[in-house]
Amino acid sequence: MNELDKLAAARDYIGKLARGRDPITGADVSDDSVLNNIHICRCLLYVEEVLGQVVEAGGVAARRERRTPFHITREQLDRYEFPPEPLPVTGIAQRITELAGDGNMKKLCYRDITGFLLEAGALRIVTDAGGRQSKCPTPFGESLGIRQEQRQGKNGPYTAILYDREAQKFILDNMESILARR
């Protein structure tokens, strides 16, 4: 593996971490992970972007161009393909970003979606006995198709929040409001 390949692999690992995914297993990180801190997420997204520019420039640091804010048209959203299985919010954000198709645009962060869902009353924050906070669907969220599933990760069991077709449709239908929160 040459240096450029190592940089590309590092970029891919950082990108997965920024989106709340374990870069080795692909599993969602737990809600109480430090990776769910907005400042850490933004930092990792920035590092991913810089590494991508270095890889594209053949291993040379390029001058950073400002990326435009994330935006997407209704026509682009209409091309969203619903997978057969429910998705975590990170997968939904990634699919929507890919639909926008502009390499000079910031990516849609899953926190934009969950922030909207918290405000809309579809998710709520709960605190466990150890003082750790996590999100879970409200009865309204469950009626939209948001559900919890217990999973086993590298560091033990965790609760994954999954979004079925109807929940994904609700997110797509409210994309304008989601982006207006930024």
Out of 65, 89, 104, a domain closes at 65
Q: Is the Cβ–Cβ distance between 89 and 161 less than 8 Å?
A: yes
What is the Cα–Cα distance from 24 to 36, expressed in whole angstroms? 18
Q: Which domain, by its residues, includes 77?
A: 70-182
Q: What is the mean pLDDT of the chain?
A: 88
* Residues 176 and 107 occupy one common structural domain: yes
Pairing, β 133-137 against β 123-127:
antiparallel
- Judge if 57 and 129 occupy the same domain: no
What pLDDT band is residue 58 in, cutting at 50, 70 and 90? confident
Per-residue confidence band for 40, with pLDDT thresholds at 50, 70 and 90: confident
Clarify whether residues 51 and 80 are in a common domain: no
Instruction: Domain count for the chain, please give it.
Output: 2
Tell me, yes or no, whether 41 and 13 share the same domain. Answer: yes
Q: Do 83 and 51 share a structural domain?
A: no
Same domain, 21 and 106: no
Do 49 and 97 have their domain in common? no
Provide mean pLDDT across the span 106-129. 94
Q: Is the pLDDT of residue 31 over 80?
A: no
Q: What does the pLDDT read at residue 65?
A: 63
Same domain? 173 vs 88: yes
For residues 56 and 109, membership in a common domain is answered with no
